[in-house]
Amino acid sequence: MLSNKTIEIVKSTAPVLADRGKEITTHFYKSLFKDYPELLNIFNHANQKQGRQQAALANTVYAAATYIDQLEVLLPAVKQIAHKHRSLNVKKEHYPIVGEYLLKAIKEVLGDAASPDIIEAWGEAYQVIAQVFIDVEQEMYDQAKEEAWDEFKPFRVVNKVKESSLITSFYLEPVDGSKVPNFIPGQYVTVRLSIPGEKYLFNRQYSLSDAPGKNTFRISVKRERDHVKEDGMVSNYLHDFINVNDEIELTAPAGDFVLENQKNQTVHLISGGVGITPMMSMLNYLADSQSDREITFIHAAKNGEVHAFAEETQKSIQSLPNAKECIIYETPNELDLKNQNFIAEGYLNEELLNKLIDKNGAFYICGPVAFMKNVIEYLEDLGVKTENIHYEFFGPSVSLKDY
């Protein structure tokens, strides 16, 4: 239990930390990786380089400090991060190391302003915050161990299928011959790879893109053309070098962007580009279970050439009694214009959404940040309640406002 004095110090110094949060976390990661380079086998190097992880950590530390006397308010956010930690195999032994380097960074950045009282109060507060994460994560590890496995496990690629000019699917089977475990549509797995010539392992999360209950997992990966080297590194390596019979390592499914069972609500699955992957899992699950819910599947892509799963989506939609599909192409190509396989040209906008949605329904959104930000704004303008809007962010879940 923290003393009133500690709580008071932490709360009153939290704004200072917020102001200089990114500086502190940047400093923190630099010295952490200098002394513990092996942690680079866990962290995403591209997120580090672009400051995304620093911002995510700084925001969370600030929020935790602000709510230090009522941490239960943060539980939904903690759970989301804990899913990510569990899927990356972050362990309770890592927490004291992170705590030590975080305190050191606070001391170094704030200098004389960080009195011994302040440092002591933050040290105590960190332990309380860390314990919340450790407890939530322990439960997740126990559950994963019971239902699937709790660390990394080798999988063999048994099929590799091109879904569009940019997206390719990998069908994966456990090497040890065990069954593929159940998961909730919308969840992701972490893929761990060793890339020749690179010193550290690479971890990336990919949504499972097919319904549960199959003999294999399916992930569907977009080739990145224009990104800085490390951002597309794993995806492009999978495209270029991972083939049938190759092995990659996976952690058990994780994540809380999942299809909920609000039976009487229309379900809207709204995606842009490769954001279609968790939507395929949700749609195919609804199709496999012959759901009689109203379902609206909205997908925005540049054109038919990069539009993945077009046939598969149609098949699932047609097999459902109350489902419709709405495809929007930014710049349809000649073939699209000939086939008229889309309902609108340009971007998904508020006027269009107004025509397509049931405002009392549930909304699942996944796609590029700008796409999600716009769609969420339009839905809120149209009167959709925030609690009915669910979205998945690919990358550290920094607040959408930070973009």
Active-site positions read 95, 137
Number of residues that this document lists for the chain: 403
Smaller CB separation from ligand HEM, 309 or 393: 393
> What is the per-residue burial (b if ≥16 Cβ within 10 Å, else e) of 296-306?
bbbbbbbbbeb
CB of 35 to ligand HEM, least distance (A): 12
- Interhelix angle 21-35/94-110, rounded to 10 degrees, is 130
Does position 136 interact with ligand HEM (CB under 6 A)? The reply is no
Restricting to residues 37-76, name those near ligand HEM by CB under 6 A.
Answer: 39, 42-44, 47, 53, 56-57, 60-61
The residue written with tokens 């949700």 in the block is 282
Place of tokens 């994966």: 172
CB 319, CB 259: distance < 8 Å = no
Q: Cβ closer to ligand HEM: 133 or 152?
A: 133
Integer Cα distance of 48 and 207 in angstroms = 22
Look up residue 97 and give its two tokens: 């190391």
Let me know: does 251 contact 155? Beta carbons within 8 Å: no
Q: To which residue do tokens 């302040």 refer?
A: 118
Sole window of 80-88, 113-121, 242-250, 373-381 interacting with ligand HEM (rule: CB under 6 A): 80-88
> Which CB sits closer to ligand HEM, 93 or 146?
93
Do the bridges between strand 247-250 and strand 323-329 make them parallel or antiparallel, or are there none, so unpaired? unpaired
Q: Verify binding: residue 258, ligand HEM, rule CB under 6 A.
A: no
Q: Does 88 bind ligand HEM (CB under 6 A)?
A: yes
Is 95 a binding residue for ligand HEM by CB under 6 A? The answer is yes
Minimum CB distance to ligand HEM smaller for 65 or for 242 = 65
Smaller CB distance to ligand HEM: residue 85 or 218? 85
- The only residue of 94, 104, 302, 373 in contact with ligand HEM, by rule CB under 6 A: 94
Q: Among 125-133, 190-198, 320-328, 383-391, which window interacts with ligand HEM (CB under 6 A)?
A: 125-133
Distance of CA 11 to CAs 57, 59, 63, 73, 118, Å?
Answer: 17, 14, 10, 15, 11
Name the minimum Å distance from CB 50 to ligand HEM: 10
Q: Cα(258)–Cα(272) distance, rounded to whole angstroms?
A: 17
Count CB neighbours of 394 within 10 A. 20
Q: Which of 324, 332, 264 is nearest to 298 (CA)?
A: 324
Interface segment toward ligand HEM; rule CB under 6 A; list 14-22, 36-44, 135-143, 307-315: 36-44
- Contact with ligand HEM (CB under 6 A): which of 9, 10, 130, 184? 130
Closest distance to ligand HEM from the beta carbon of 278 (Å) = 14
Q: Nearest approach, Cβ of 201 to ligand HEM (angstroms)? A: 11
Residue matched to tokens 């009133």: 4
**Contacting residues toward ligand HEM, per CB under 6 A:** 39, 42-44, 47, 53, 56-57, 60-61, 80-81, 84-85, 88, 90, 94-95, 98, 129-130, 133, 396-397
